[in-house]
Amino acid sequence: MKLARAARIILIGAPGVGKGTQSERLLKAFPQLSAISSGDLLRANVKQRTPLGLHAEQIIKKGDLVPDAMILRLVLEELKGRRWIFPDSKPQPYNLNFSASTQPDDSKMDIAEMMDLPSIVSSYANPSTCDKPDSSFILDGFPRTASQAEILDNLVPINMVIHLDTPFSVIMDRIAGRWVHAPSGRSYNTTFNAPQVAGLDDVTGEKLTKRADDDEATWVKRLEVFREQSEPLLEHYAKKGTLWSVKGESSDEITPQLVEEFARRFAAA
Ligand code: AMP
């Protein structure tokens, strides 16, 4: 489906809710959309051993949040590189072939400079945005906190915030049912994609195991951290009137509602 105007979307959902799945499906239904994930931007920097990546690596490993200025800089540079926002308020020809690897060279910037929030905010003061439908994006993972949302509010006009709302008990059941065949990476779920013989891989007949990060206590903690961070974030967007929540117990239950609402708001007639 074609879009009539630029959609600037934030996607919020607990770990394990299927944000990646919904993003993929929206991109398939609306090819003018792009997905930008703050976690992916950070991981690309870690992989490329950039100064920012080296600094972020330890923080990510511990499961903590990287400083606001760091993540804000990455997301804004990505949008600027794609010619979707213009810090100097002068729209330029936009470029679809941009990727994180073409981000400006920050090798000469020191860490203190990279983490200086006032300087990054002032260097992007009053940006203008590209309004062509091809500049539509879904932001996944950013903003993560109400303070990040407040900073973003003054820089980029977000026009829809999607909250994927699945009960935590359903997410926990799904995780508990997840089994993998470690050598091949094949994964199963005892509720909706069970192996032919319980506990064994369909192809090799070898034993299935749990993923190391599917430990129940770890997941309870991840969901609790999400609840703490997301409540003020959701409240923030509810007050602004941009929040739209969709309830569902599975990705297949959520997708049709999401595509319908998205089309109603953004698709060309
Ligand atoms: P994700 O792939 O979204 O789970 O992100 C992986 C890691 O990157 C997180 O655990 C954080 O350490 C970091 N990260 C991603 N997005 C943000 C953000 N908006 N603010 C701070 N840290 C972030």
Nearest CA to ligand 1 atom 19: 142
Q: What are phi and psi of 107, to 5 degrees?
A: -65, -20
Q: Measured in angstroms, how far is the CA atom of residue 25 from the centroid of ligand 1?
A: 22
102-158 pLDDT, tens per residue? 455 555 667 777 788 888 888 888 788 888 999 999 999 999 999 999 999 989 999
Q: What does R_g of the chain's alpha carbons equal in angstroms?
A: 20
Q: What is the pLDDT of residue 106?
A: 59
213-265 pLDDT, tens per residue? 778 888 898 899 999 999 999 999 999 999 999 999 999 999 999 999 999 99
* Of 19, 58, 64, 144, best ligand 1 pocket probe by most atoms within 8 Å of the beta carbon: 144
Q: Measured in angstroms, how far is the CA atom of residue 243 from the centroid of ligand 1?
A: 21
Burial 51-83 (b: 16+ CB within 10 A, else e): bbbebbbeeeeeeeebbbbbbbbbbbbbbbbbb
| 241 neighbors 232 (Cβ within 8 angstroms) | no
Q: Look at 97 and 195; give whichever has higher pLDDT.
A: 195
What are the structure tokens assigned to 17, written together? Answer: 């809710």
Q: Measured in angstroms, how far is the CA atom of residue 57 from the centroid of ligand 1?
A: 11
| 8 neighbors 129 (Cβ within 8 angstroms) | yes
Q: Measured in angstroms, how far is the CA atom of residue 9 from the centroid of ligand 1?
A: 18
- Does the Cβ of 142 fall within 6 Å of ligand 1? yes
Q: Measured in angstroms, how far is the CA atom of residue 156 from the centroid of ligand 1?
A: 20
Band of the pLDDT at 97, cuts 50, 70, 90? very low
Least Cα distance to 48 among 61, 35, 57 occurs for: 57
- How far apart are the C-alpha atoms of 109 and 124, rounded to whole Å? 17
Q: What is the pLDDT of residue 94?
A: 43
- Does the Cβ of 144 fall within 6 Å of ligand 1? yes
Ligand 1 atom closest to Cα of 37? 3
Q: Measured in angstroms, how far is the CA atom of residue 153 from the centroid of ligand 1?
A: 19
- Does the Cβ of 80 fall within 6 Å of ligand 1? no
- Does the Cβ of 12 fall within 6 Å of ligand 1? no
- How far apart are the C-alpha atoms of 82 and 80, rounded to whole Å? 5
Q: Measured in angstroms, how far is the CA atom of residue 216 from the centroid of ligand 1?
A: 21
Alpha-carbon separation of residue 45 from 35, 76, 213 (angstroms): 17, 15, 23
Cis peptide upstream of residue 232 (ω within 30 degrees of 0): no
Q: What is the pLDDT of residue 98?
A: 42
Q: What is the pLDDT of residue 95?
A: 43
Least Cα distance to 167 among 9, 11, 13, 12 occurs for: 13
Q: What is the pLDDT of residue 89?
A: 55
The chain-wide mean pLDDT, for the chain, equals: 89
- Does the Cβ of 71 fall within 6 Å of ligand 1? yes
- How far apart are the C-alpha atoms of 105 and 245, rounded to whole Å? 38
* Of 52, 71, 115, 213, best ligand 1 pocket probe by most atoms within 8 Å of the beta carbon: 71
Ligand 1 atom closest to Cα of 140? 3
| 82 neighbors 162 (Cβ within 8 angstroms) | no
Question: Sign of the CA dihedral 200, 208, 226, 124?
Answer: negative
Average pLDDT over residues 50-65: 89
Give the rounded percent of residues in the chain with a pLDDT score beyond 90.
67
Q: Measured in angstroms, how far is the CA atom of residue 56 from the centroid of ligand 1?
A: 10
